[in-house]
Structure 1
Amino acid sequence: MGRNKINIFISSLLLFFLTIHSVYAEDVQEGVEIGDKAPDFMLETLDGETVQLSDFKGERVMINFWATWCPPCKQEMPDMERFYQEHDPVILSVNLTDGEINTADVEQFIQELDLTFPVLLDKEGEVSNLYRIQPIPMTYMVDAEGIIQFKSFGALSYQQMVKQFEQIEDE
C-alpha cells in the first residue's frame, strides 16, 4: 500500500512538471530579447514563395537580418553559406529590402556570393521594425518552441554560428 502511494505521488509529480513545461512556452511573452517568444512574421522569397516563422515550430531557426550595402553582412555570408551546407539548419535570411535600391541588387548579391539558403524580402520594413533591427547584421537563434535563445549584433563567424546553434536543444 505504501509503495502504491509513492508511485502515484511520483506519477503526479512527473505529470505536473510536464504540464508546466508545455504551458511555459505558451505563456512566454512575445518580444525580441533572449527568453522572449520570437514574433511571428511572414515574408516572400525572391522566387515569390511565402515563408512564415511559425511554420518551423519544432525546429531550431536562425534569423539573420542584412542588406547588400552592409560590409559586415557581406563578410558574414560565406560563413553562413558554409554553415547552411554543413549543418542543414533552418535559416531565415531577411534582407532589409526597403533600404535597397531594388531587388535586382539583392539577386546579384546572392549570385555573386553563390548563396543557396532562402532569402526573404522585407519590402516594407515591417519585420525589421517588429524586431527593432539596428545595427545590421543582426542574428537571432530561436529554439524549437519559438523562444529566442541567442541574439547578436554584428557579423558572426562560422564557428560562432555552429557553437550557438548547437547550444540550442531540439524539441
Structure 2
Amino acid sequence: MIKKVIAIVFLCGLMTVAIVQAMEKNTMQEQEVKSIQTNNLPGLEVGLKAPDFELKNLAGETVSLSEFKGQKIMLNFWATWCPPCKKEIPDMQKFYELAKDDVVILAVNIDTEADVAGFAKKMDAHFPILLDEKDKVSSMYKILTIPTTYFIDEEGIIRHKHLSAMTMEMMKEYSDL
C-alpha cells in the first residue's frame, strides 16, 4: 500500500513539473511572438534609440525630446480629424493627471493646418501638444497610421509601440506604472 502511495505521489510530482515547464515554455514563446509582432508593425522598432527632435508647442516654445532624458516618455502621434485619436484623448488626459510626475506625455499633432489649440481646449486636453508642421518628426518615426504611440524609457530607448487608440489601462501597462 505504501509503495502505491509513494508511486502516486511520485507520478503527481512528475506531472506537476511537466506542466510547469510546459507553461513556462508557452509563456516564453508568447513573449517572442509578441516581440516579433510588435517589430513587424510600421514605424521604428522597439529596442532602438528614439531619435531626438525639436518642435514648437502650442505656446510657440521649442521643445526637444532630449530635454526629457532620464524620464519616461509617452510619444503620441495624432490628428484632430482622426476618430481613434479623439477617442483616446480623454484617457490620455486622465493618464497625464495620474502619471505626470512619472511619465512625460508629448502629443505630436500632424495636421497643423487645423485649429489644434481650439481642439485641445474643446477636448479639455492639458498635456503638452507639439506641432509637426513639416512632417519632419512623423517621417523620422516612420508614422504610417495614427494614433501611433511610442513608450520611451529613461535612457531614450523605445520600449513599446502601439498602433491605434489606447485606454488608460494600456498606457499604465506600457509605461510600467
TM bucket, shorter chain: 0.7 to 0.9
Give the 3-state SS of the residue equivalent to 2:59 in structure 1: coil
- Structure 1: gaps (5+ residues): 1-30
User: Which residue of the partner structure matches residue 68 of structure 1?
Assistant: 80
Q: CA offset at residue 109 of structure 1?
A: 1.0
Partner Cα separation in structure 1 for residue 45 and residue 106 of structure 2: 18
User: Superposed, which structure 2 residues align to 1:18-167 within 5 Å?
Assistant: 32-88=44-100, 89-97=103-111, 100=112, 102-103=113-114, 105-166=115-176
* TM-score for the superposition, normalised by structure 2: 0.73
Give the 3-state SS of the residue equivalent to 1:166 in structure 2: coil
Q: Which amino acid aligns with 2:176?
A: E
Partner Cα separation in structure 1 for residue 87 and residue 52 of structure 2: 28
Question: Would you say how many aligned residue pairs link Structure 1 and Structure 2?
Answer: 133
Kindly report structure 1 stretches of 4+ aligned residues shifted beyond 2 Å.
none
* TM-score for the superposition, normalised by structure 1: 0.75
Q: CA offset at residue 87 of structure 1?
A: 1.3
User: If you compute each CA radius of gyration, which structure gives the higher value, 1 or 2?
Assistant: 2
Partner Cα separation in structure 1 for residue 72 and residue 128 of structure 2: 15
Give the 3-state SS of the residue equivalent to 1:139 in structure 2: strand
Partner Cα separation in structure 1 for residue 155 and residue 44 of structure 2: 15
Is the contact between residue 40 and residue 53 of structure 1 (CA under 8 Å) also seen in structure 2? Answer: yes
Give the 3-state SS of the residue equivalent to 2:149 in structure 1: strand
Q: Which amino acid aligns with 1:142?
A: I
- Structure 2: gaps (5+ residues): 1-42
Q: Which amino acid aligns with 2:59?
A: D
Q: CA offset at residue 166 of structure 1?
A: 1.2
Q: Which amino acid aligns with 2:145?
A: P
Partner Cα separation in structure 2 for residue 74 and residue 96 of structure 1: 14
Q: Which amino acid aligns with 1:126?
A: K
**How high is the sequence identity, in percent, across the aligned residues?**
50
Give the 3-state SS of the residue equivalent to 2:94 in structure 1: helix
Q: CA offset at residue 86 of structure 1?
A: 1.0
